[in-house]
Amino acid sequence: MNKKELLRLYAAGERIFARIKINDTALSGVDLSGINLSKAHLMAFNLSDANFSNANLSGARMLGTNLSGANLSGADLTDADCERSKTDNVILVATNLTGAKGFGSGIGAFICKTIEPGGEFVEGPDWIE
């Protein structure tokens, strides 16, 4: 699947894109709220400033992905592989990061009512400086 097809299907109401494979694509600033990308391969994506609120990203491989400024409120990133991902200014409200590998809240990240990768609950609100 390519970027154009993904956006066309999403605009038509499709939300389930589990296990898709897309590499090196820019989706900066797009609204993909409620999308299901569980176990998808999203390598070296630019997802900066994108809206992934209430998205299912569980088990997704997101190595080297730019998530800076992304809204991940209500998103499920359980067991996602986020090694080498950029997470500056990311928004994490009621986000589940249980078991997420390599996910570190970057500078300026906002965290509230979120489960960290190790299972600890952050009531927040908290900003990472």
- The domain containing residue 71 runs over which residues? 1-129
Residue ranges in the chain modelled with pLDDT below 70:
24
Q: What is the CA radius of gyration of the chain?
A: 13
Q: What is the CATH number of the domain that holds 76?
A: 2.160.20.80
Tell me what pLDDT residue 44 has: 85
- pLDDT, residue 111, reads 96
Instruction: Give the model's pLDDT for residue 128.
Output: 82
Summarised one tens digit per residue, pLDDT across range 72-89 is 999 999 999 999 999 999
Neighbours of 119 (CB within 10 A): 9
What is the DSSP annotation of the chain? --HHHHHHHHHTT--B-TT-EEES-B-TT-B-TT-B-TT-EEET-B-TT-B-TT-B-TT-B-TT-B-TT-B-TT-B-TT-B-TT-B-TT-EEES-B-TT-BS----TT-EEESEE-TTS-EE-S-EE--
- Which residues are CB-neighbours of 18 under 8 A, at least 6 positions away? 36, 37, 38, 39, 40, 56
pTM (two decimals): 0.93
- According to the model, what pLDDT value does residue 24 have? 66
pLDDT of residue 1: 86
Q: What angle do CA 35, 59, 82 make, to 5 degrees?
A: 95
Q: Which of 72, 70, 118 is nearest to 95 (CA)?
A: 72
Q: What pLDDT is recorded for position 43? A: 86
Based on the structure, what is the number of domains in the chain? 1
Predicted pLDDT of residue 88: 94
pLDDT digits (tens, 9 = 90+) for 107-122: 899 999 999 999 999 9
Determine how β-strand 114-115 pairs with β-strand 121-122: antiparallel
